[in-house]
Structure 1
Amino acid sequence: MPTFKRGKATPDADEADVAELSAEEAEALAAAAEAEAAAARARANVLKVQQAKVEREAERETEVHDEVSGAEDEVAEKDTGDTGAAGDSAPLTPAAPRRRRLATAARYAAVCLAVIAIAALASTSAWIVVKHRQAEHQRDLAAQFSAAARQGVVSLMSLDFNRAKDDVQRIVDNSTGQFREDFQAQAEEFAKVAESSKVVTEANVTATAVQTMTEDTADVLVAAASTITNAQGAKDDPRSWRLIVSMARDGDQIKMAKVEFAP
């Protein structure tokens, strides 16, 4: 068996030592080196995973910080009146921005509803005013036709033989259209009959009602009473009449256009 002397190692000596290693010893050394390399790689992977986790947590913290800062800025701009006794802003909770937005939306909805209600009320008021004016105009118009019909019937049924021609002319003056033409054509004969019969009639209208009406024409129901005195022996004999008088505008006056006896 070879013997070794102690002394300073030389390159030739190291090569000799390696050469003298057995195959088993060389395989063990290679396995140890491989295990150490695998452990180094595992440690490197663990460090890499830990670094990525730290970076993700840092990014999440940054995003949360930005969201909270943006919400605080929004609340500070919209509501600067909620401050503490010392003037510091009240601490915000995660639900505060949402409540602020809901309150703002509620106020906006209330304003919109108020505007709609005011507009509807104004429209209704305008409609009521228009309808009221229309009703007043219709009442005034009906009153005009009724008054004209009343005057026309009194003129038509009141006659005194002492002034027959004047009374007949008054009837003509209160008539228009075909009724005026027909009555005027018989006016002279009518006056002569009244004078010869010594007729005196007095009439008064007891009631009127507008049946149909436009701006320029109307049919008016007239109830009238009269008394008659004549040469044939009548002396203040009472008579009752129901007439349908058609009225029409003639210039700035309303006159009789047709007279019929109602059943």
Structure 2
Amino acid sequence: MSKPATAPPDGVEDLSGLTPQEVDRVLEQAEAEAAAAETAAAQARSRAAAARRRLRRGPRWQTVVGIVTVLCALAMAVFSVLIWSGHRDTVRDQQNRAEFAAAAKQVAVTLLSIDFTDPQTGMQRILDNAVDPFRTEFQNSSDDFVKLTADAKVSTKAVVDAAAVQSATADAAMVLVAATTTVTDAEGVAEPPRTWQLRLDLRRDGDRIKMAEVDFVQ
């Protein structure tokens, strides 16, 4: 007596009623579906791994970008400070040179202008615009200056043609001055103009600029 047919487990296809050829086709289809499922699973694992790598790289890349941004901002700030500081120093140097040039013109006019009718005032004006060593040297010969000026009976008018600062620091400068003088005698007769070149060593004395030495180049 034969045993009754047993139903296949759930999820398992009943192949008992199929021919061998049909069984082969079912098995081939099952193998193909299994291979496709494995391929899909492999692709899913690959995408997941790539996503994890991006997540790991992302924060580091963002950190690098942030650091680079901060460094660029700092570099721009430093560059701006350097530009501003350089401009400030240039303006300060130009102002310093302009002050020395203006003082040199005034000193040259004071030194070259002579009035025989009032030599004492001329002598004192020169002393007021001088510092040592010139001041002491000129003061020691001031009496001779007054006498010679009075005896010459001529007046000299000076005009500065140009002044060029050859070198300068915050407190001293060497300035080359070109000037023209016109000498007039007691009768008012003027001699031909004469040109001069003076090299003035100037020093700051408090809030004023005064002459420390003078060299007549011509």
- TM-score of the superposed pair, with normalisation by structure 1: 0.61
Secondary structure at 1:175's aligned position in 2? coil
Number of the residue aligned with 1:228: 183
Is 1:103 the equivalent of 2:55? no
Is 1:203 the equivalent of 2:163? no
Secondary structure at 1:237's aligned position in 2? coil
Q: Which runs of 4+ in 1 moved over 4 A?
A: 231-234
Deviation at 1:254, TM superposition (A): 1.2
Q: Distance in 2 between matches of 1:245 and 1:232?
A: 33
Q: Which moved more, 1:93-102 or 1:240-249?
A: 93-102
In the TM superposition, what are the counterparts of 1:237-248 in structure 2 within 5 Å? 237-248=192-203
Deviation at 1:232, TM superposition (A): 9.9
Cα deviation, 1:44-82, whole Å, max 9, x if unaligned, reads: xxxxxxxxxxxxxxxxxxxxxxxx8xxxxxxxxxxxxxx
Is 1:262 the equivalent of 2:217? yes
Q: Distance in 1 between matches of 2:114 and 2:217?
A: 22
Number of the residue aligned with 1:194: 149
Is 1:118 the equivalent of 2:55? no
Q: Distance in 2 between matches of 1:236 and 1:117?
A: 70
Give the greater-gyration-radius structure (CA): 1
Is 1:214 the equivalent of 2:198? no
Q: Which moved more, 1:231-240 or 1:184-193?
A: 231-240
Q: Distance in 2 between matches of 1:255 and 1:218?
A: 10
Q: Tell me: higher relative CO, structure 1 or 2? Use CA pairs within 8 A at least 6 residues apart.
A: 2
- TM-score of the superposed pair, with normalisation by structure 2: 0.73
Secondary structure at 1:201's aligned position in 2? strand
Q: Distance in 2 between matches of 1:252 and 1:205?
A: 23
Secondary structure at 1:129's aligned position in 2? helix
What is the aligned length?
174
Is 1:152 the equivalent of 2:103? no
Number of the residue aligned with 2:127: 172
Secondary structure at 1:159's aligned position in 2? coil
Letter in 1 for 2:119: A
Letter in 1 for 2:101: S
Q: Distance in 2 between matches of 1:228 and 1:127?
A: 53
Letter in 2 for 1:219: M
Letter in 1 for 2:57: L
> Larger % of helix: which?
1
Secondary structure at 1:95's aligned position in 2? helix
Cα deviation, 1:175-224, whole Å, max 9, x if unaligned, reads: 11021111112222212222222111111111111112222211111111
Q: Distance in 1 between matches of 2:115 and 2:63?
A: 81
In the TM superposition, what are the counterparts of 1:30-41 in structure 2 within 5 Å? none
* Superposition CA RMSD, Å: 2.2
Secondary structure at 2:127's aligned position in 1? helix
CA contact (8 A) 1:197 1:232 kept: no
